[in-house]
Amino acid sequence: MIIGIPRESDPGERRVALVPGVVSRLIKQGFEVVVESGAGAGAHIADAAYVDAGALIGTAAEAHGAQLVARVQPPNAEEIALMQPGAAVIGFLRPLDDPGISAALAARGVTAFAMELVPRITRAQRMDALSAMSAVAGYRAALDAAAMLPKFFPLLTTAAGTLRPAKVLVLGAGVAGLQAIATARRLGAEVSGYDIRPAAAEEVRSLGAKFVELALDTEDAATEGGYAKALDEDRQKRQIELLGEVVSEADVVISTALIPGRPAPLLITEKAVEGMAEGSVVIDLAAPNGGNCALTVPGETVVRHGVTIHGPLNIAADMPVHASQMYARTVSAAIEELVADGAVNLDMENEIVAGCCATHDGVVIHPRIAPLLDSPSSSPAAAG
């Protein structure tokens, strides 16, 4: 089977789907690999490194024309047109946020595997691209906050006196939140973390941070799998009110509550931002879905009421070297799961295959995506 690695066309995307070390391993397993010239440039990988790994360097048409196309971001309409009917594509395909992409791939006759939909089960941990990229995002968010804050993060004792550490509040104790907490702690900040799941308290405290406990009933705020679930309207309003008091005391707030396919939950109101000291910083990792902060402008950095609010859309791409290495490992693990005897193995009895397969044989087959296509805004044209 030939695997194609195209150059990413999404503006600002610097990652590449497979790195030379992973390519070398796949070739030893019997795969052939064609890499579009310059595909690794954003991650500081030269074409020569892929050649040394055993890959061929080709054009965009040759990479997209492979039997299996490995990507980071979803293909646009022109790239979908380069794919061969009966071929397969694997990558972040935004199936719940933009189901029109899945519809366009189905119309082309391409079998699509969405890395976002890999089930979070023990057997699929090594394919969990979302968690891998969330770790990158949390780390980078803390660094960006430290760079934007007009204060030191750590406690410093100098000849000019003692400087108190910055107070950092992290909203959400998932993978991104915990990495943000750990990084801010390493930078010397005084860190607090909040999550509606009571079980998250132990994880936050294990990193040396304080767990924020609100006067709110959250006993049923987690799913059976341990993930946070939406609160009812009354408790959501109460949570926002209580968080406002905590937010106002922070120098930095990093928010991480992002739900694929749904608007991000509001956690930080304009009133809460007004209560923050001038020069404070909000890093909103939920910006791709609208943001957790009422004043977030997705894709921009704005100043409101003297507070800098940063709404990155693709923060993992700012760390392209290690992000590409991590992502490539998850993609290669998925490929090894999905391909058998040189062909895509659509064993729908396999929980991983059934969980991440979005389209096949001209049809959007995933039960979470198909219902979304009833919306006019989700037509195949949306892929362009």
Angle between helices 320-338 and 129-148 (to 10 degrees): 170
- Residue 223 in tokens: 């799913």
Encode 7-31: b = buried (16+ Cβ within 10 Å), e = exposed: bbebeebbbbbbbbebbbbbeeeeb
Instruction: Write down the catalytic residue from 131, 304, 318, 368.
Output: 131
Is 227 a known active-site residue? yes
Provide φ and ψ at 319, rounded to 5°: -125, 60
Is 120 a known active-site residue? yes
- Residue 212 in tokens: 């924020």
* Nearest-angstrom CA–CA distance, 83 and 238: 50
Instruction: Write down the catalytic residue from 52, 123, 125, 205.
Output: 125
Provide φ and ψ at 359, rounded to 5°: -140, 150
What dihedral angle (degrees, nearest 10) is formed by the CA atoms of 58, 62, 67, 70? 60
Instruction: Write down the catalytic residue from 120, 126, 185, 238.
Output: 120
Q: Write the single-letter amino acid at 41.
A: A
- Distance in Å from the first CA to the final CA of the chain: 28
Instruction: Write down the catalytic residue from 227, 361, 377, 379.
Output: 227
* Nearest-angstrom CA–CA distance, 207 and 167: 15
* Nearest-angstrom CA–CA distance, 157 and 345: 62
Tokens 């923060």, residue located: 315
Encode 168-193: b = buried (16+ Cβ within 10 Å), e = exposed: bbbbbbbbbbbbbbbbbbebebbbbb
Residues 6+ positions from 379 with CB-CB distance below 8 Å: 100, 103, 373
Is 84 a known active-site residue? no
Is 125 a known active-site residue? yes
Tokens 């550490």, residue located: 165
* Nearest-angstrom CA–CA distance, 320 and 189: 26
Instruction: Write down the catalytic residue from 15, 67, 128, 378.
Output: 128
- The residues annotated with a catalytic role in the active site are 120, 125, 128, 131, 227
